[in-house]
Amino acid sequence: MKVLLLKDPKEDDCGQDPYIRELGLYGLEATLIPVLSFEFWSLPSFLEKLSHPEGYGGLIFTSPRAVEAVELCLEKDNKTEVWRKSLQEKWNAKSVYVVGNATASLVNKIGLHTEGENCGNAEKLAEYICSSTEGGCVQRDLPDVRKCVFVPDQHSLQLLTSDGQTEGESGRLH
């Protein structure tokens, strides 16, 4: 029997999409059809924020796509060397929060140390951030979450500025 999977292809350790592999074990022939496309907006504004870690208390990554945004910024403006020589170390001196192990793994690949990866979703990560700061980030000389750069995913398309205000959309889901 043939099956249509309406999702983006993802490769596992075996180099194959896990859904195709699993369905194949049951004699099903699966075909992937990507149903969404995504484009990033405001990458120049985002790169400006990434280039000035002194203005922020940390980073919050909410998805693998958020890491992709960082990589695109660095590649697009040839900032990869500046990232490795300077910016990476400055961001590592701050808190870098992530939602989930998959996102943590990708953030680690760009040289950042993470925390919160075992939370698994945004709500639990928010609880983790608040509980780890015991009544407020500022009181323990930890980053004020209002001054973190929120690296959005396709569900949350706002960037926080250093004064805690939202600034435009950073991407669009099609």
pLDDT in tens, 73-109: 999 878 899 999 999 999 999 999 998 898 999 999 9
Bigger pLDDT: 10 vs 146: 10
Strand partners, 60: 97, 150
**Which structure tokens are listed for 96?**
């870098």
DSSP classification of residue 13: T
Region class of 75: left (phi > 0), else alpha (psi between -120 and 50), else beta: alpha
Mean pLDDT estimate for the chain? 78
| Dihedral of alpha carbons 153, 159, 160, 166, sign | negative
Query: How many angstroms separate the first and last alpha carbons of the chain?
Result: 30
Q: What's the whole-number mean pLDDT along residues 156-164?
A: 37
Domains of the chain: 2-33 (no CATH), 43-168 (3.40.50.10090)
Give the DSSP per-residue string, 130-154: HHHTTS-TGGGTSPPGGGEEEE--T
**Residue found under tokens 């639990």:** 124
Q: Phi and psi at residue 13, in whole multiples of 5°?
A: -60, -25
Bigger pLDDT: 13 vs 82: 82
Confidence bin at 35 (pLDDT 50/70/90)? confident
| 41 in Cβ contact with 168 (< 8 Å) | yes
